[in-house]
Amino acid sequence: MTGYIIRRVLQALPVFFGTTLLIYFMVFAMPGDPIVALFGDKGVNPAIADQLRAQYHLDQPFIVQYLIYIGGIFQGDFGTSFSGQPVGQILASTFPVTLRLALIAVVIEMIVGVAIGLVAGLRKGKWFDNSSLVVSLILISTPVFVIAFVSQFFFAIKLDWARATVSGEANFPELILPGMVLATLGVAYIIRLTRSSVIETASQDFVRTAYSKGLSKSRVTRVHILRNSMIPVVTYVSIDFGILLVGATVTEGIFNVPGVGRTLYQAIIRGEGPTVVSFVTVMVLLYLAVNLLTDLLYAALDPRIRYDK
Amino acid sequence: MTNKDFHFVADIDKTQVAEIDAVRISDKPTNLYLDAWRDLRKRPMFYIAGLLILLVTTVAFFPDLFTQTPPNDNCLLANSNGAPTAGHPLGFTRQGCDIYSRIVHGTSTSLSVGLIVIVLTTLLGIIFGSLAGFYGKWVDAILSRAGDIFFSIPYILAAVVIMSVFSDFRNVWVISAAIGIFAWPSTARVLRGEILRVKQSDYVMASTAIGVSRFKILLRHVMPNSIAPVIAVTTISLAAAIVAEATLSFLGVGLPTSTMSWGNDISQAQADLRTAPQVLIWPSLALSITSLAFIMMGEAIRDALDPKARAQR
């Protein structure tokens, strides 16, 4: 097991450096001079501009800037945004919000998706199964901003059940509506994954054996069918959780959630190199960690999977 | 009583074994794609999706068949966010332009972005996925890690950055490239996985044994047998690309507002969501139905090509 983890971490290293280099290069290539933009309409003071350029290492060649930056990351220094705030601080204030949002979304996904998918799979071909498939198709093909607008319009504006936008605190109750919107796509995918996985598991020999041992239908469903159908669902949920942690740019923007996605988007639009690169770096680290954890979870769910020879 | 009467096994000529084993030379030879095509024609989903795709394509190529109202002329601010009137079935946008006409004329933008993106992702996906899966070892290690680099950045965010880099050259080609460059790894992964399976087959070993070159085996034997899931994934990613274009326009880094696209219309309508939701709903509906059509087609094709899914129905 340890050997496997070490191998995976070693494989992740080139991906980490590749991704950060790529994003650094893209941000570097953005047109416009962020230092000049800082002066606004006041006119550029060359002495201060040069001083700022030196402070942010903007006078160095691209690859040197990148190395200085990566060196800082390994010492726990995520750099400073052009407005003077340490990026680490921005991350610390936005990340918990996105984490809460992602947790709400994942919990909704798991409960609703698995419940509907399980019932649909057990009643293959009946009206419940067919209608849940149609609904999931419609959810998958509707863009998230449309779902966000429609639910904002109905639940917040027409029915007044929730606030249309989230306050600066972004506590749990306020995040339920955006969390529901974020969860819709996942719910649709989990319904389909659970359904086909349940259908496949239900036809296995061990399920027939369980029935012939005289176990009750509910026990067979819970212990034998459901548990053994969970691998694709767990994969999906963990990857989805990783994606949600990265921040849902669109949903966070529409509901004014002060999370990672919205902050990152604004940083890109303003050409804030250090903020963008730091956020993406953390995102990539998270993504790689979630991937590794997912693979380790397989082994916990299915004892037949072993990573060591 | 002869011994024969105690036979409990039926005589071979009285069973269907001969019938089943017989090779009917007169029958057309069948293959995966022919079977899938036969299966596809039995699915209502295939016909619904096909008709919708046909409709959207016709609208994209011949918008004038569907509306005589020019989309941008005669926009009267007096009609701003107006209700439907005769000749303007869906009402008016904030600028007083005809919503229906704008939707009809915006179709070709969405569809071209979708098509260019899938051409790009399929090309890159096939090159990276097939070489990584077939040659394995260090080729696989390098190409798969390269894919991971692009895969670990969410492609909407990456596209936002690219569109900011090219902020002065925003057009259909640039936005398609921005989406496609970060979307290909999923195609490559699907193909790689399928090739890993197919290259274990006996017919590949047989070709190797009679001395067919590796590259020829890949082209002639492995690729045709592993491309099926790619077809389904591609159809579905066409829908994803259309949605991505609208999302980027919605975020304000998509096509310039002078280009008519559903994403731009939705983006401009969001300010009036409280007072005039219909301005936002109609282009969103057009977008959703189009993406639904391609997703349904992709699912139908995937199920038809997958014998396991066929049995599940």
Judging contacts by C-beta atoms under 8 Å, the chain B residues touching residue A283 are: 152-154
Question: A16 and A120 share a domain?
Answer: no
Statement to judge: residues A101 and A217 lie in one domain: yes
Interface contact A26-B165, CB threshold 8 A: yes
Domain assignment of residue A284, yes or no: no
Please count the structural domains in chain A.
2
| Residue ending a domain, choose from A77, A106, A141 | A77
Take residue B279 and report the two structure tokens written for it: 């301005």
B121 band by pLDDT with thresholds 50, 70 and 90:
very high
**Domain membership flag for residue A149:** yes
Chain B: give the shortest CA distance to residue A86, in Å. Answer: 22
Average pLDDT over residues B68-86: 69
From A275-279, B64-68, B191-195, the region with the lowest mean pLDDT:
B64-68
Q: Which domain holds residue B281?
A: 32-312
Residue B141 has pLDDT above 90, yes or no: no
Q: Check if B156 contacts A (Cβ < 8 Å).
A: yes
User: In this structure, is residue B12 part of a structural domain?
Assistant: no
CB pair distance less than 8 Å for A143 and B284: yes
Same domain, A217 and A101: yes
pTM of the model: 0.80
Q: In B199-275, where does DSSP find H-type helix?
A: 202-209, 214-217, 223-226, 228-250, 262-269
- The CA distance from B131 to the nearest CA of chain A, in Å, is 19
Q: Do A196 and B312 touch (CB under 8 A)?
A: yes
**Do B161 and A30 make contact, defined as CB atoms within 8 angstroms?**
yes
Q: Do both A38 and A155 map to the same domain?
A: no
Is residue B105 one of the residues assigned to a domain?
A: yes
Taking the CB of residue A109, how many other CB atoms lie within 10 A of it? 27
CA distances for A150 relative to A194, B134, B263, angstroms: 27, 47, 16
- Is residue B21 included in any domain, yes or no? no
Q: Which of B53, B145, B148 to mutate to test the interface with A (most CBs of A within 10 A)?
A: B148
Shared-domain flag, residues A50 and A98: no
| pLDDT on residue A303 | 64
> Predicted confidence band at A138 (pLDDT cuts at 50, 70, 90)?
confident
The domain boundary, picked from A24, A45, A77, lies at: A77
The domain of A49 spans 2-77
Average pLDDT over residues A92-104: 87
Residues above pLDDT 70, as percent of chain A: 90
Domain contains B136: yes
Residues of A in contact with B164 (CB under 8 A): 30, 268-269, 271
Q: What pLDDT, in 10s, does the model give residues A170-215?
A: 677 778 888 888 898 889 889 988 888 888 888 888 888 888 888 8
CA distance A124 to B153: 37
For residue A281, is it within any domain? no
Average pLDDT, chain A: 80
* Domain-embedded: residue B5: no
- Closest Cβ–Cβ partner in A15, A140, A243 for B295: A140
Q: Quick check: is A70 in a domain?
A: yes
The pLDDT value given to residue B313: 46
Instruction: Answer whether B252 touches A (CB < 8 Å).
Output: yes
Statement to judge: residues A46 and A172 lie in one domain: no
| pLDDT confidence of residue A309 | 44
Kindly state whether residue A302 falls inside one of the protein's structural domains.
no
- A residues 32-91 lying closer than 8 A (beta carbon) to B: none
Report yes or no on A222 lying in a domain: yes
What's the confidence (pLDDT) of residue A304? 65
Contact A178, A252 (CB under 8 A): yes
Do residues A141 and A259 both lie within one domain?
yes
Predicted confidence (pLDDT) per residue in B266-304, tens digit: 888 877 777 777 788 888 888 888 988 888 888 888 888
pLDDT at B177 over 80: yes
> SS3 of B312, please?
helix
Structural domain includes residue B243 = yes
Mean pLDDT of A300-304: 66
CATH number, domain of B250, equals 1.10.3720.10
For residue B273, is it within any domain? yes
If asked whether residues A189 and A121 sit together in one domain, one would say yes
Nearest residue of A to residue B161, measured between CA atoms: A268
**Domain for residue A223, yes or no?**
yes
Q: Report the number of distinct structural domains present in chain B.
A: 1
Cβ atoms of residues B110 and B239 within 8 Å:
no
Are A269 and B253 in contact (CB < 8 Å)?
yes
Q: Is the pLDDT of residue A21 over 60?
A: yes
Q: At what angle do helices A114-122 and A127-141 cross, to 10 degrees?
A: 140
Asked whether residue B75 is domain-assigned, the answer is: yes
Query: Nearest-CA distance from B80 to chain A in Å?
Result: 20
Residue A288 lies in a domain: no
- What is the tens place of the pLDDT at every residue in A252-295? 888 888 888 888 888 887 777 777 878 888 878 887 887 778 77
Residue B237 sits at the chain A interface (C-beta within 8 Å): no
Q: What is the CATH classification number for the domain harbouring A208?
A: 1.10.3720.10
Residue to test with chain B: of A8, A9, A146, A244, most B Cβ within 10 A? A146
Write out chain A residues lying below 8 Å of B295, CB-based: 137, 140-141
Are A120 and A215 found together in one domain? yes
